[in-house]
Chains A and B, each alone.
Chain A
Amino acid sequence: MSDLPQLVLNGLMTGSILAIGAVGVTLVLGVLRLLHVAHGDTMAFGAYAGLFFTGLVGDNLAVGLVGAVVTSAALAVLVEYVLWRPLRRRRAGMVGLLLSSIGVALVLRHVLFWVAGADPKQYPVDLMRVYEVGPFRLAQSQVLALPVAVVSILFVGWLFSRTAIGKQMRALSDDGALAAVAGIDVNRTIVVIWILSGALAGLAGVLQGLVQNSFNPNLGFQLLLPVFAAVILGGIGSAYGALAGGLVLGLVMEVSTWQGFLGGVPASYKQVVAFAVLILMLLLRPQGLLGKARLR
């Protein structure tokens, strides 16, 4: 089994993907009271869109990444206009929204199965190539994905802390009525939230597709519950919390397999570790790591 520094590095990789995925979920849940089950499948869509655009221009991963981000954002905005906005107008409750998003998830995943097939797909990276940096061993996919992930997380942090639109999104997520009274254009901000949520989901999908080596359309659903766990870990509606929650959860999932820690958890139980963290968190600190205590 791997040693601790390597596991920490893998944990940062997994964690940054979860963090990037969790930002959109937490904002959508905070603002729209919509538990976005289709978020995982948006990630899978991103992974496939990335693959498509990568192959389009002679195996150029950068083009693939940009293509995935743009098309995933467009998809999220499309669904907002076609489905979420009409549903809000009809005053659909939380259950209605939740079940609709399950419907979107089923449609999206099986369209992917239909179009791309069930066989595992792979990004054009050299699987045999391993870089040794100090105590770490990095696969080529990690060398490519890690910087992108770090830059993206820094960018999202900058967006929320320094830009007007970022602050508006956080305000809306914190207290929708108050934000509306303060003059924030709610519908416009919601569209921006979907753009950001979709773009980051597409990005997370490409990164996961890269580091997972091979993937099929179930990639997204496998990430969904860990992403939900990261959202709860960070506190629902808190964008910074989602980033922190994702990183912490990724580290916990990977490091839990370390043999020095009570022999370590079998690798096949990594997901279960995420769920266990989720349940423990809800019991001990339901407002999340960074969340404020609320009555209900």
Chain B
Amino acid sequence: MTEILDPQFWFFVAVTAGIYTILGLGLQIQFGFAGLLNFGHVAFMAIGAYTMAILVVKAGLSLWVAAICALVVVVPVSLLVGLPTLRLRADYLAITTLAFAEIVRYVATNEDGLTGGSQGTINLSGPGTTASYNREWLDFVEVVQGWLSPILGDLASRDFVSMLIVWMIALVAIVVLQVLVRSPWGRVLKVIREDEDAAAALGKYVFRFKQQALAIGSLLAAVAGLLHAFQFSFFSPADFVPLVTFNVWMIVILGGTARNWGVPVGAVVFAILYAGTRFLDFAPFSWLDPDERAYLRMIVIGLALILLMVFRPQGILGRRDEMVME
């Protein structure tokens, strides 16, 4: 198998890791710093991606305008979701957000006229036609490739350019969050996570801080959704199953709760593990058919999650004293 040595394959893995990093940063601000158990993170990824694609195909907007509209839409939606739910106890919030994400996915699956239904975005302009929203992104990537290829030659592939863009956005997000959590605002968030009543007693309007954390995190999820849509040129409701949210949780915990730099670490480890199971083509794994290998991968992810919680709940970079959640 030469694929393992192919840099292009690893660029692709790096794009996935970068998208998961951005998703994870969103959850980090919500859970790691504000203590919110958001189990519907993937919903905002879906809303971002679908809003963009629908505006491009059905309203004929430019991809860039549509992308900005998508980000603008996600913020009020997240505030609306937070309005009733953020006053709830932590475990209620987990169930409600999970249910919200499933509602979004059901609507995306069943409202063929709006979203293309279970066939995904290819069906956006109705059956019998093939819709595409991605031309401007591909043109843009090609332009960047034109700048880079004199220096890098064949290495400057589509995935390479995507990787650069995704990770540049991820790095900017990390730096911004790092500044935010070290500000007085971030310190209030941590107080809320540790003791809501204490924060309230200090005169902080707890609910508003939670709303802000939820909105920032959801915005990042929408950015990740847009990048996912750009990278794959196609998506369907199956891309937004609850498993994606669970993966993001694993990445955040793996990297370390309340550690922004932990998120890329967790995402890279996760992406390598995930992609790595592809290379299990030697015995005894070569005896398995592709389906069985896919199941094995999920079993490994599940076991990893369990072992992580048993042996190192604070993650790779985390401190144990910040992980004690009650």
- Which residue numbers of A lie inside 8 Å of B, CB to CB? 29, 33, 35, 83, 86-87, 90-100, 102-111, 113-114, 118, 225, 228-229, 232, 236, 266, 268-269, 271-272, 275-276, 278-279, 282-283, 286, 296
Contact = CB atoms under 8 A, between A and B. Distances in A.
15 contacts: A33-B91, A35-B91, A87-B310, A99-B249, A99-B305, A100-B310, A102-B249, A103-B302, A106-B305, A114-B299, A225-B98, A229-B99, A271-B106, A275-B103, A276-B103
Interface of B: 31, 37, 84-85, 88-92, 94-96, 98-100, 102-103, 106-107, 109-110, 243, 246, 249-250, 253, 291-292, 295-296, 298-299, 301-306, 308-310, 313, 323-326
Contacts of B291: 113, 118
A106 B302 contact: yes
Contacts of A92: 309-310, 313
A192 B109 CA distance: 41
Contacts, number: 134
B306 A94 contact: no
Contacts of B103: 272, 275-276
Contact of B306 (A100, A272, A278, A296): A100
Contacts of A35: 91, 94-95
Contacts of A271: 102, 106
3 closest cross-chain pairs (CB), A and B: A106-B302, A103-B305, A103-B306
A111 B310 CA distance: 21
Nearest to B35: A95
Given A107-B303, A268-B106, A282-B85, A29 B91 contact: yes
Q: Identify whether the interface residues of B are mostly helix, strand, loop, or mixed.
A: helix
Which of the listed residues A102, A229, A266 has the most CB atoms from chain B within 10 Å of its own CB? A102
A228 B110 contact: no
Given A114-B295, A266-B110, A282-B88, A104 B306 contact: yes
A110 B300 CA distance: 10
A272 B326 CA distance: 31
A106 B326 contact: no
A106 B89 contact: no
Q: Identify whether the interface residues of A are mostly helix, strand, loop, or mixed.
A: helix
Contacts of B106: 268-269, 271-272
A24 B98 CA distance: 20
A98 B39 CA distance: 11
A282 B92 contact: yes
Nearest to A91: B324
A103 to B, nearest CB: 3
A296 B291 CA distance: 46
A276 B292 CA distance: 36
Contacts of B85: 279, 282
A41 B37 CA distance: 22
A100 B313 CA distance: 10
Given A95-B325, A96-B325, A110-B299, 18 more contacts: A87-B310, A92-B309, A94-B325, A96-B309, A98-B37, A100-B309, A103-B301, A103-B305, A106-B302, A109-B298, A110-B295, A111-B295, A114-B295, A225-B95, A271-B106, A278-B95, A278-B99, A296-B89
B256 to A, nearest CB: 13
Contact of B84 (A29, A94, A283): A283
B92 A83 contact: no
A86 B96 contact: no
A98 B326 CA distance: 12
A155 to B, nearest CB: 28
Contacts of A110: 295-296, 298-299, 302
Contacts of A236: 91
Contacts of A100: 305-306, 309-310
Given A99-B250, A269-B110, A114 B292 contact: yes
A232 B88 CA distance: 12
A232 B95 contact: yes
Given A99-B250, A296-B89, A275 B102 contact: yes
A75 B98 CA distance: 26
A265 to B, nearest CB: 11
A118 B290 CA distance: 13
Contact of B296 (A29, A99, A114, A266): A114
Given A275-B99, A279-B84, A107 B323 contact: no
Contacts of A29: 91
A249 to B, nearest CB: 13
Contacts of A90: 310
A190 to B, nearest CB: 18
Contacts of B309: 87, 92, 96-97, 99-100, 103
A102 B295 contact: no
A223 B92 CA distance: 18
A2 to B, nearest CB: 20
Contacts of B292: 114
